[in-house]
Chain A
Amino acid sequence: MFFYYCRLAWLSIRRNPVLSTLMMAAIALGIGAAMTTLTINYLMSANPIPGKSEQLFYVQLDSWDPNQPYAEPNEPPDQLTYRDATNLKEARQAKLQAAMTQSAAVIEPKELGKKPFMAYLRLTHNDFFELFEPPFLYGQGWSDEADKSGRLTIVLSKKTNDELFDGANSVGETITMMDREFEVVGVLDEWQLKPRFYDVTTGAFNSMEHGYVPFKLRETLEMPNSGNTNCWKSPDGEGFQAFLQSECINYQFWVQLDDADAEQDYMSFLNAYVEQQKQLGRFPRPLNNRLSDVMEWMENQQVVDDDAQVMFYLALMFLLVCLLNTVGLLLTKFVSKSGEIALRRAVGASRADLYWQHLVESALIGVGGGAGGLILAWLGLQGIKSLYGDNLAGLAELDLTLVAIGIVLAIVSSLLAGAYPTWRACRIPPASQLKTQ
């Protein structure tokens, strides 16, 4: 019966090609707009590390100015001071913990003819690789000993390894940065977190670093910091050490806590730590420490762009207009079929039969509109890519889930749009129509 209805629907669609095209076009436009904006929002708010997002916690300590909070209403700063980052690491009260900040250096390739290039680096502890589980192509992270002594080791991204060693296994080789020789201990495979949640202060959707080096080098090599540094008072004294020991915030700190108990214990540890620092004359504000898991932190940092959300809501309303349009057009179409409907009723089809038949027709129009809508969404995403360029890199790609959502959305909306016109068409009394034939 279903296939028979499909055939009838196909015939009916072909009978009024203009009207049918108009309806499919309306649904396609609505779905296209909705899917384009949905894609951007969906990818922006995607969970970047689904398996672990509830075990990874971002640490915030309120070390800010006694006279005013870091941000209203009484928000703790979004980063830590160097002192606190190193102290928390040394305390080792969580299962895994890593401090980090962004840095940069020029890599001078040894091979003649290759130009020096600027590399963005992440200064971090070796727990980083266990916390965020990047895929390794060769080798592994550095040792605890390298963390403590600040040994000159580096883990390269795939891209950098391709650039420097043409993709070969470079573990054990050295590269030159800041006139020093860094030993390669590991090479990552392709790795792009979206959003790059572990440091959103330098752009949540930036590309990943060129390499990862031990955190200690910030101090021993005085490596520059290229993230945001915020201070509420000037360093006490001159020089790099004074700057490192100041109340300026520039470091992120992540811990892994496997269950609620661990979370509670770590929170008590943080509070005890701050109380102890208060004895030293630091932390002038009331106790206000925070642990946020990955999704909470994304929410707090408003990773999903306001513009993207506004566009999404406007696109949903756009879809609503398209649906109202389709309701109108379906009404037109079904009522113009009243003769046929009456005839089918007269020869014995029940109202329910007719109802199903016309719902199938609506759904078929929805499928057509959905397919068109996906093409339009793809075009729309290409347009958005060319408009935003690198600002939305990697966020304008349709995946299978989105395609499925698109099709379902199209069918559901066309069924919704078809419900009333179908009901109305089936209420046509057979006799009145047959008389005029």
Chain B
Amino acid sequence: MNHLGPIFRALLRNKVGAVLIALQVAVTMTIVVNAIHLISSRSDLIARDSGLDESNQFYITTIGYDQNYDARYVTDTDLDSLRQLPGVVDAVQINALPMSNSGSSTTIKNAAGEDAGDAGAALYYVDDHALNTMGIELLAGENFNATDITWREMNKGTMPQKIMITATLAQSLFPDLEPEQVVDKTLFNGDDEPMTVIGVIKQLHAPWVGWGNIEHAMLVPQKSDSVYAHYLVRTEPGQRATVMPEALAKIEQRDVGRMVLEHDTMTQVRADSYRNDTALQSILWAIIVTLMLITALGIVGLISFTINRRRRQIGTRRALGASRGDIMSYFLTENLLITLTGVVIGGMGSVGLNIVLVNNFDLPRLDYIYLPIAMVCLVVVGLAAVFGPALRAAHISPATATRNI
């Protein structure tokens, strides 16, 4: 460390190379820190629990096109045959699929009148098999009865008396109450439609993965009398692959004036919904890796250049008694000084870029733990890059001092 003074003064006499490396390190760090931050915030989004038993579920969407299509008859008989299929745990007709990005919502209030507290809630029209099909735990209260289920016609929107809500929705409407205490509370759809909470469920995601209130969902005991029908099916663990084609065949072979529009696993529904996020993550990883590589190669290039220029100087030092270790440590220390300057500037740049991103793109604020991690990584990359050229410098023969170039 007693070399620090001369190394620093030597750097000042040959600023350009050092400035270039420091700048490169700084910009690289700015990008890497913000990219890692983006990747991890997307990971948090993707990892959220939808409340479903996704790996054992699939859906089938059908549409009736015949004038004589009898939605009630077809739905009931479809559900019967799906539920009896070997390997099927349960099945339900549902108006919208969680995470599918299409569905309906309403605003519900915790009391009648204008200044009542309210919250947006995704609507799922289901029957008494919903909890079993989705694999959701009932925290408090009770499930629907078969007798609670009525039919809901298109564009006619009166709500039935009984509903179930998610624990998060209960929390938003009644911040001071435990789930048990929310059971039997009366909620209002609009001003004049009272509904009683008969059960609070643990977790269920709304259809829209980008929605701020994704955990606000409400189950309504109605089957849809409409040409569209989504069936959600849950199978015994590990049997989805065999059960899905059988279920599909069963639906398709009935000649009742309808056709299958879509079918897929819930695993795929999730993957599709979060596709943009996973894609962004892959792109950012590619950027980080190439960037590190470029910076490392740049350092190798510039250091080799300075070493070439200083061949005679190195030779002279060796001739005057400096050991190979001294030469090595000279270049390593010099590089350490440069990269340290770079990462300090880079730290400021990272915070600055993050502020710009937060202000313009609603991105989350930077987690400061990434700064020291990125600094250490870049310093290590810098040292690794300089190691090869420094080793070559150390092997410059003292006799060089006596020759011309």
Interface residues of A (CB under 8 A from B): 19, 22, 26, 29, 33, 67, 105-106, 108, 115-118, 178-179, 224, 229, 233-235, 238-240, 243, 305-307, 309-311, 314-315, 317-318, 320-322, 324-325, 327-329, 331-332, 335-336, 383-384, 387-389, 391, 420, 424, 436
CB distance from B291 to the nearest CB of A (A): 6
- Bound complex: CA of A310 vs CA of B278, how far in Å? 15
Map CB proximity to A onto B26-44 as digits: 1 under 8 Å, 0 otherwise: 0110110011001000000
Chain B residues in 8 Å Cβ range of A67: 114
- In B137-164, the 8 Å CB interface with A consists of 154-158
Determine if B276 and A331 form an interchain contact, defined as CB atoms under 8 angstroms apart: no
The secondary structure that dominates the B interface is helix
Determine if A387 and B283 form an interchain contact, defined as CB atoms under 8 angstroms apart: yes
Determine if B24 and A324 form an interchain contact, defined as CB atoms under 8 angstroms apart: yes
The secondary structure that dominates the A interface is helix
Determine if B283 and A311 form an interchain contact, defined as CB atoms under 8 angstroms apart: yes
Determine if A118 and B298 form an interchain contact, defined as CB atoms under 8 angstroms apart: no
Chain B residues in 8 Å Cβ range of A325: 24, 294-295, 297-298, 301
Set A224, A336, A389: member contacting B308, Cβ < 8 A: A336
Which of B72-80, B326-334, B356-364 lines the interface with chain A? B356-364
Determine if B17 and A179 form an interchain contact, defined as CB atoms under 8 angstroms apart: no
- Bound complex: CA of A71 vs CA of B28, how far in Å? 38
Determine if B279 and A321 form an interchain contact, defined as CB atoms under 8 angstroms apart: no
B171 touches A (CB below 8 Å): no
Set B21, B38, B63, B67: member contacting A310, Cβ < 8 A: B38
Determine if A324 and B27 form an interchain contact, defined as CB atoms under 8 angstroms apart: yes
Determine if B16 and A243 form an interchain contact, defined as CB atoms under 8 angstroms apart: no
Q: What are 13 contact pairs spanning A and B, CB under 8 A?
A: A33-B287, A229-B104, A234-B193, A239-B155, A314-B287, A318-B31, A321-B295, A328-B17, A329-B301, A331-B305, A332-B301, A335-B305, A391-B275
Determine if A332 and B290 form an interchain contact, defined as CB atoms under 8 angstroms apart: no
B89 touches A (CB below 8 Å): no
Determine if B65 and A108 form an interchain contact, defined as CB atoms under 8 angstroms apart: yes
Chain A residues in 8 Å Cβ range of B287: 33, 314-315, 318
Chain B residues in 8 Å Cβ range of A311: 280, 283
- Bound complex: CA of A317 vs CA of B362, how far in Å? 20
B-side interface residues, number (CB < 8 Å): 58
Determine if A388 and B279 form an interchain contact, defined as CB atoms under 8 angstroms apart: yes
B259 touches A (CB below 8 Å): yes
Interface residues of B (CB under 8 A from A): 16-17, 20-21, 23-24, 27-28, 30-31, 34-35, 38, 63, 65-67, 104, 114, 154-158, 189-190, 193, 227, 259, 261, 275-276, 278-280, 282-284, 286-287, 290-291, 294-295, 297-298, 301-302, 304-305, 308-309, 357, 361-363, 404-405
Q: Which residue of A lies closest to B305 (CB)?
A: A332
Q: Which residue of A lies closest to B262 (CB)?
A: A118
- Bound complex: CA of A303 vs CA of B153, how far in Å? 35
Chain A residues in 8 Å Cβ range of B17: 328, 331
Set A26, A310, A391: member contacting B294, Cβ < 8 A: A26
**4 more A-B residue pairs beyond the given contacts A321-B291, A321-B294, with a C-beta to C-beta distance below 8 A:** A240-B155, A329-B302, A387-B275, A436-B405
Determine if B301 and A22 form an interchain contact, defined as CB atoms under 8 angstroms apart: yes
Determine if B157 and A235 form an interchain contact, defined as CB atoms under 8 angstroms apart: yes
- Bound complex: CA of A383 vs CA of B158, how far in Å? 49
Chain A residues in 8 Å Cβ range of B156: 238-239, 243
